[in-house]
Amino acid sequence: MRKRKTKSEAIQTVEPEGEPADTSGIDALAAQLATYLPPEQIERVRGAYAVGARAHASQRRKSGEPYITHPVAVAMILAGLRLDAETIIAAILHDTLEDTGLTRAQLEASFGPIVTELVDGVTKLERVDFASRIEADAESFRKMLLAMARDLRVILIKLADRLHNMRTLSAMAPDARRRIARETLDIYAPIAARLGMNALKAELQDLGFRGLYPDRYKIIASRIKRTLGNRREAMVKIEQALAERLAMDGIPVRIISRVKAPYSIWSKMKNEHKTFDQVMDVYGFRLVTDTVAHCYQALGVAHSLFKPVEGRFKDFIAIPKANGYQSLHTVLFGPIGAPIEIQIRTEDMNTVAERGVAAHWSYKTEAGPGNSAQTRARAWVASLADNQATTPSSLEFIENVKVDLFPDEVYLFTPAGDIQALPKNATALDLAFAVHTDVGMHAVASRIDGKLASLRSQPASGQTVEVITAPSAVPNPSWLDFAVTGKARAAIRQYLKHLQHEDAIDFGHRMLESALDSKGSSLDAIPPEVLERFLAEHNLRRLEDLLSDIALGNRMPDKVATELTAMGGSVIGAALHRSEKIRISGAERGILSFGNCCHPVPGDEIVGYLSPGKGIVVHRVECPNVAELAKQPERRVEIGWDKQVQGDYRVELRVEVLNRPGVLATVSAAIAEANSNIDDVKYIERGIQAATLIFAIEVKHRKHLADVMRRVRNTKVVNGVYRYPI
C-alpha cells in the first residue's frame, strides 16, 4: 500500500520575505475580464486573488515562481474563453482546499456555495491509502467526473489547470514529465475533444507530444517549418483563386490556411503508416462565412473551381458530431497535383468548434444551455454519472470513459428518425443501450436498413438500425466480447455480477448441504446462534456471503461443515457419506468454468475442482490434469450433469486429412451440416500428402458431438477424426 501524493509534490514551501506582492498578473486578468464582465464582478475576482495570494504566500512552484502565478494563469486561460465570474474565482482558488490551510467553511462564507462546489470538484481526494498510484489516479479522476456531471465548469477549470501545467512542464523531473504528458494525451486532450474544445485540445496534444517524445517533436516541427517555406507560393495561389470566385458570387468569407501540428502529423504517420511527405502533401483551408445558406453556396463554388474527390465529402452541419461540432468537409483535386482539404462553416460554428462547451457560455440548470455543444456535453456527463453508479471499480470506470472518448463516430438513425452518435466500430447492441438500457437488456437481434442482422453487426454511418427485443431475453456473457460503449459494458457487467451472486448463493447452499450431509447434519440443524457466531468470527455479514464464498472457491465446504458441527451444530444421524452428486445445468456460468485442457460437454463423466475466486472448474474424469488435482482432495466437488442442460459447449477436434485443394471447405461443410458452429481452425501439421487440423466447434452435448464426428469421418478427404487434446 502506498500513500496518495498530492499536488504538493510540485510545490516548494518557503518563508515569506515580506516583499511587496507582484500584482501584474491580477491586473492583466482584470483587464481581460473588463471586456465582458461588469466592474462589481471584477472586484469579487480581485478579492479572491487577495485570499489566494495570502493562502499560497509561503509556496513556490518548482520553477521558483510564487505559487499564486499558477492559479492566476489558469484564470487567464478561462477568461480568454469568456467564462463567468464564479468560474474565474474558483480557478484562482482551485488549489486552496488541497494545499493550504483554507477550509471549505471559510471558502463558502466568503464566496458562496457555487464557488466552493467548483473548487471541491477540482480538488483531488484527500490522502488515503490505495493499492497503487494507478488506482488512486483512477479514483481521483472518477471524483472529478462526477463533480463535472453536477457542473460542467469543473472540467473547464481542470482542463485550464492542466494546460498551464503542460506549458510549464520543463520544470518537472523527467519521469514526472513523461507521466504527466502520457496522462494528458490519454485522458485530458480526448476530454477537450469530446467537449468540442478543439483549440485547447490541439495545444494539449502538442505539449503532451513534446513532453513524451521531445526528439520526435523537434524533428517534425523543424520539417514542418521547412516544408511551409517551400509551399507558401502555391498556398497563396489557391487562396486567391478561392477568394476571387467567392467574391464574384457575393459570398462574404474569411479564408484561413490550416497548418498541421506536429502531434497531428505524427499520429497520421503512425496510424496510417504514411511518410512525412505523404502527410504533408495536403493543402488545408477553412472558409468562414456568415450564414448556413452561404456555407452550401461556398461548397458549390469550391467544387466548381476544383474537382471533388469522390467519397470525401462530409456534412457535419446537417448531422453535427457528438460534441456539437458543425462544418462542411470536402477534399478537392488541387491544381498542382496535391489534394486540398476544405472546411466551410459560419462564424458561430467556428467559435463552437474552437471553444466547444465554453462558446457563448451560459450556465443554466433548469433552462436549456447556450449551444448544442453544451447540450451534448451535459448529456454525455449525465450518462457517465449513470454508468459509475453501476461500476464499483474505479479502474473499470476509467476504462469505460476512455472508450467513450472516441476520436471518430458513426451516426446511426433509429426508425423514428432520431440520430445516435456512437464510437467507431460500435455494434447494433451498443445502439440498443444508447436508445435505452431496457432496450439493450432485452435485445435479441436487429434490422439494418430493413435487413435482419445480429446484435454484433457494425452498422455504417447513415444506416437505419431497428433493435428487435423480447421480454424474456437477458444479457449474455458473450456480449462483452463485442459491446464497445461504456454504457453497454457497464450495464452488461452489472447484470452478470448480480446473476453470478444469485447463482453462487444457490450453488454454495447445495455444496454446504452436501458437505454437512456427509457428516450426518444439515444447514437447518445448525442452531442460529452457532451460525451467527461462525459468521462473526469470519467477518461475514450474512449467510449469503458465506454461501457465495464457498461457490467461488474462497472457502472449502468440507472445512466449513467441520467447523460448524464442531461449534455445536446438531447431528441428526450417523454420518451418511452419501455419494450423491451436485447436478449442474450449464446455466451457472458465473461460477462454473470448463477446463480448456479437456473441454467437457454434457454426457461426459465430470468432476469439479474449486479454484479460489473462479469457483468450480469442470474437468472430464479422464482428463490428465485430474491426477494432479487429486493431490488436493479437499478441493474436489462431486458433480454431474442435470437432465436438462443449456447452451453450447466448446470442444476441439483433431482432423487428419488428405492435403489437397478444397479439403478445408469440405470438412467445414460437414460440420455445418451437423448444426455446429466453427469458432476457430488451424493447421498443426502439413506434409505433401497429408495434413492435421484442429477445429474448435460448439456442440449441445456428447451425442451432438458424435454426430459431428461421424459426418466429418464420412467425407472422402478425412483419414481420422479424434477428440482433442485427449
Domains identified in the chain and CATH numbers: 2-214 (1.10.3210.10), 215-358 (3.30.460.10), 525-641 (no CATH), 649-724 (3.30.70.260)
Distance CA(713)–CA(289), nearest Å, equals 72
Contacts of residue 310, defined as CB under 8 A and 6 or more positions apart, other chains included, come to: none
What pLDDT score does 670 carry? 92
| DSSP code per residue over 98-155 | HHSS--HHHHHHHHHHHHHHHHHHHSPPPS-EES-HHHHHHHHHHHHHHHHHH-THHH
pLDDT tens, position by position, 521-532? 888 888 888 888
What pLDDT score does 360 carry? 63
Q: Using N-to-C axis directions, what is the helix angle for 39-55 and 85-92, rounded to 10°?
A: 10
The amino acid at residue 538 is H
Distance CA(97)–CA(569), nearest Å, equals 56
Q: How long, in residues, is the chain?
A: 726
pLDDT tens, position by position, 529-573? 888 888 988 888 888 888 888 887 888 888 888 888 888 755 555
What pLDDT score does 148 carry? 62
What pLDDT score does 12 carry? 47
Q: Does residue 332 contact residue 339 with C-beta atoms inside 8 Å?
A: yes
What pLDDT score does 407 carry? 46
Partners of residue 594 on adjacent β-strands: 618
Do the bridges between strand 690-699 and strand 718-724 make them parallel or antiparallel, or are there none, so unpaired?
A: unpaired
Distance CA(558)–CA(234), nearest Å, equals 83
Contacts of residue 70, defined as CB under 8 A and 6 or more positions apart, other chains included, come to: 61, 95, 164, 165, 168
**Phi, psi torsion values for 26, nearest 5 degrees:** -70, -30
Distance CA(245)–CA(233), nearest Å, equals 19
Catalytically active residues, by annotation: 98-99
Residues in the chain with pLDDT values less than 70? 1-22, 124-150, 280-281, 359-408, 569-580, 589-590, 613, 726
